[in-house]
Amino acid sequence: MVLKERRLFQNFDWLLILAVGVLVVVGIVLINNTTAAVEGLFDTSNLLQDFTFRQILYAGLGFLALFVLSQFDYRVFAGLQWAFYLTLLGLLATVFVLGRFFLGAQRWIPIGPFQLQPSEVGKLLLVLVLAKFLADNSKQMEKWRTLLISFAIVAIPTVMTYAQPDLGTSLIFLFIWGVMVLAAGLSWKQLLVLGVILAILLPATYLTLQPYQRDRLVLFLNPTADPLGAGYNVNQARIAIGSGQVLGRGIGSGTQSQLQFLRIRHTDFIFSVLGEELGFFGGIFFFALYAFVLIRMLRAAQISRSTFGRLTAVGFAAALFFQAFVNLGMNVGIMPVTGIPLPFVSSGGSSLVTYLMMIGIIQSILAHERMLGLRTKPQQV
């Protein structure tokens, strides 16, 4: 159902749009600074192969999707629960058949000159599926059956994603589930039992990791163990952030990025580029933007009268928080390297478009509730 209120856009959270827009623009600037083949905005010799041009294109598609999704009553997505779930499983299965290998991982489906990463889209679809299931069963959250079914819903795509292998996104899926079941009314007894189970399974999970993933954990504990090998990027990222000092070296003037000491600088370690070029104050401003976006997303959860809407907003906020925290954490050395991009900023269309679509649904929740003037206690869908 499309929202037909003439004053819909007046009910938009324009500050949220502004904050997200700033993150996207900063990302494009940083990507251009670290990847431009010739002087100027982008390499006109082959636009579709230019990282900057593609990021601009993805941003345009993402914002278009944002505004289109914002026009719909968000509750229409609740009725598509199982269609979304089957789509998610189908896309993840397709990766193993048509997926492209890159750096030892099979995560991308080639579509002409572009690539789709289903696990990125999966974050949005999984939140919607879980939100509907938990909303329908919110009165039965204290039953282990409800909890186990919700976990099974998440476990299948998590295992498929882990097999690609993509540990980072698998952890995001599990974090989304944990936060959403807590928001749905998980009891303290259940939480305690889950904590014990997690403590038992963690050592066993380590045995299933790929060799390079184990190396990352070892290097997290001892970054100097292999400074020219597996620990190279982490150490160079720290050097980049440290050299930025308080005010930074200036846009496009970072030595670590411009002289290519820092690898994977347009994706995993793009925050290190920002830290070097904009310094401590630039980094703090960046953290503040993410905090602001998260607060506005949680505001949507707070005002939603629908359990489905509340859990959807919570799930999207959980995905953004965990992914941003892990990426920023690995850049400053407080988290191991997982290979997940920085939302809204890192180069990559699947991630950017997916998170902008999430913001579109958040705007639908906000606009719908504000138009109706509803501030009542959350109810069932």
Residue 71's domain spans which residues?
8-372
Judge whether residue 373 has pLDDT over 80. Answer: no
Is 249 a member of any domain?
yes
- Number of domains into which the chain is organized: 1
Q: What is residue 343's predicted lDDT score, i.e. its pLDDT? A: 95
Mean pLDDT of the chain: 85
Give the position of tokens 């920002």: 274
226 falls in which pLDDT band (50, 70, 90)? low
Q: What is residue 138's predicted lDDT score, i.e. its pLDDT? A: 87
Most confident of 1-15, 171-185, 248-262: 171-185
Q: What is residue 38's predicted lDDT score, i.e. its pLDDT? A: 39
Residue 335, amino acid: M
Judge whether residue 151 has pLDDT over 90. Answer: yes
Q: What is the pLDDT of residues 254-286, one digit of tens each?
A: 777 776 767 777 788 888 888 888 889 989 999
Is 378 a member of any domain?
no
**Residues in contact with 126: Cβ distance below 8 Å, sequence separation at least 6, in sequence order:** 88, 153, 154, 157, 173, 176, 315
**CA distance between the termini of the chain:** 15
Is 174 a member of any domain?
yes
Is 222 a member of any domain?
yes
Rounded mean pLDDT of 297-301? 95
**Residues in contact with 223: Cβ distance below 8 Å, sequence separation at least 6, in sequence order:** 231, 234, 235, 238, 333
Is 381 a member of any domain?
no
Q: Is the dihedral of CA 294, 378, 183, 130 positive or negative?
A: negative
Q: What is residue 39's predicted lDDT score, i.e. its pLDDT? A: 43
Is 243 a member of any domain?
yes
Q: Which of 173-182, 285-294, 311-320, 337-346 has the lowest mean pLDDT?
A: 337-346
Phi, psi of 368 (to 5 degrees): -65, -45
Is 2 a member of any domain?
no
Q: What is residue 216's predicted lDDT score, i.e. its pLDDT? A: 75
Rounded mean pLDDT of 32-41? 61
Residue 44, amino acid: T
Q: What is the pLDDT of residues 127-142, one digit of tens each?
A: 999 999 999 998 888 8
Is 112 a member of any domain?
yes
Rounded mean pLDDT of 32-53? 64
Whether cis (ω within 30° of 0) applies to the bond prior to 223 is no
